[in-house]
Amino acid sequence: MDQRSVADLSEDELIASFVALLPRGSSTVVPTGDDAAVVAAPDGRFCVSTDVLVEGRHFRTDWGSGADVGWRAAAQNIADVAAMGAAPTSIVISLVLPPQTPVAWVHDMCRGLSQICAPLGIGVDGGDLSAGEQIVVAVTVHGDLGGRMPVLRSGARAGDVVAHAGVLGPAAAGYALLESGRRGGSDEELVAAFLRPVPALEAGPLAADAGATAMMDVSDGLLRDAGRLALASAVVLDLERPETSVPDDVARLADAAARMGEDPATWVLTGGEDHGMLATFPQGTPLPEPFRRLGTVRAPGAWQVAGQARPAGTVLIGGAVPEVASTGWDHFRR
């Protein structure tokens, strides 16, 4: 075990100590190590998205390993390009490290990046390091559309079917268990769902190929993200109660919720970080696996609840405005 902290090494020495841990991708033309990397973009366009994780906000070093942080930083970014219908090709990472950060933690984080990226052929093609007061992991991911039209949030039309691929709630349950300190031996799966989410990556390009009219990654909770899609598309999303349409998740959540005194429906509707894909398809489209029907797109105005027309951006659950707090995660407002 490496007992050094990053302050014991120069920047060049630190980089040299971990660069071999990072995967070269199948699209990497010039790997990390020069002023910039060069990545293949056979489509003639590339998708790009960036996400930042901050110690004490998105992760705690006593909740999981450096590898968990590396995995999650990559996973949530990769989900964003998948949600456009693209296949991920390359990531770069900027890393802020307090001087006392163990070198072993940094190496472990690189291993976590590699564990999710290498099997997908994604290269870790560049990075930058700085000292700072808390660990910050800023990842930028790129994807190739392979000739597909990018699937935007704004394309849902009245009459379309709403569908979801992936899980809803387990990451929020895992977060609640970690935060409460009441994590039991049977909770490993839920805790792992938070520490190492497995986005519905293949579902993105499959949905694009199947003719999805709109799509997005569910990262801030179903209600909040569905509201964003509805607003961008100027529609109302009329969803069934997801616990009736996604029964596997509820079975996994019920036990933890009972012990925590929580309503599992709150995790399902407002829990973020599961990184499933929410998409809309023209009525009659055979839904590609693993999408499950979640509801219907309605025109705003035409659709009334208790005699009131609902504006664009509204999300209905079981025909009603949901009772749970629907804001989901917000970094600034408290």
Residue ranges of the annotated binding site are 35, 49-51, 58, 80, 127-128, 153, 217, 219-220, 273, 329
The residue within the footprint of a second copy, chosen from 9, 19, 21, 118 (CB under 8 A), is 9
Closer Cβ to a second copy, 207 or 256, answer by number: 207
Binding residue ranges for substrate: 58, 273, 329
**Which parts are annotated binding residues for ATP?**
127-128, 153, 219
Q: How far is the CB of 89 from a second copy (least distance, A)?
A: 10
Phi-psi bin for 163: left (phi > 0), alpha (psi -120 to 50), beta? beta
Of 118 and 129, nearer to a second copy (C-beta) is 129
Residue choice 69, 74, 96, 122 for contact with a second copy (CB under 8 A): 96
Q: Which of 19, 115, 121, 150 binds a second copy (CB under 8 A)?
A: 150
Distances (CA, A) of 285 to 15, 196, 239, 295: 49, 32, 18, 14
Cα–Cα dist 179/55, whole Å: 14
Q: Which stretch binds a second copy (CB under 8 A): 10-18, 205-213, 289-297, 309-317?
A: 10-18
Which residues have C-beta within 8 Å of that of residue 308, sequence separation ≥ 6?
Answer: none
Establish if 99 lies at the interface with a second copy (CB under 8 A): yes
Site for a second copy in 18-77 (CB under 8 A): 29-30, 33-54, 56-58
Which member of 1, 3, 133, 307 binds a second copy (CB under 8 A)? 133
- Nearest distance from C-beta of residue 139 to a second copy, angstroms: 8
Choose, by CB under 8 A, the member of 69, 95, 173, 294 that binds a second copy: 95
Helix axes 103-117, 66-82, angle to 10 degrees: 30
In 3D space, the residue among 56, 54, 26 whose CA is nearest the CA of residue 41 turns out to be 26
- Residue with Cβ nearer a second copy (143 or 242): 143
**Binder to a second copy among 19, 120, 136, 192 (CB under 8 A)?**
136
Site string for a second copy, 217-256 (x = CB under 8 A): x--------------x------------------------
Question: Cβ closer to a second copy: 302 or 325?
Answer: 325
Using an 8 Å Cβ cutoff, are 143 and 27 in contact? no
DSSP letter for each residue of 231-250: HHHT-EEEEPPHHHH-HHHH
Furthest-apart CA atoms within the chain: distance in Å: 68
Binders of a second copy in range 183-222 (CB under 8 A): 215-217
Strand partners, 10: none
- What gap in Å lies between CA 122 and CA 142, rounded to an integer? 9
Are 248 and 122 contacting, i.e. CB atoms less than 8 angstroms apart?
Answer: no
Please enumerate in sequence order all residues whose Cβ is within 8 A of that of 134, keeping only pairs 6 or more positions apart, or say none.
54, 55, 56, 96, 98
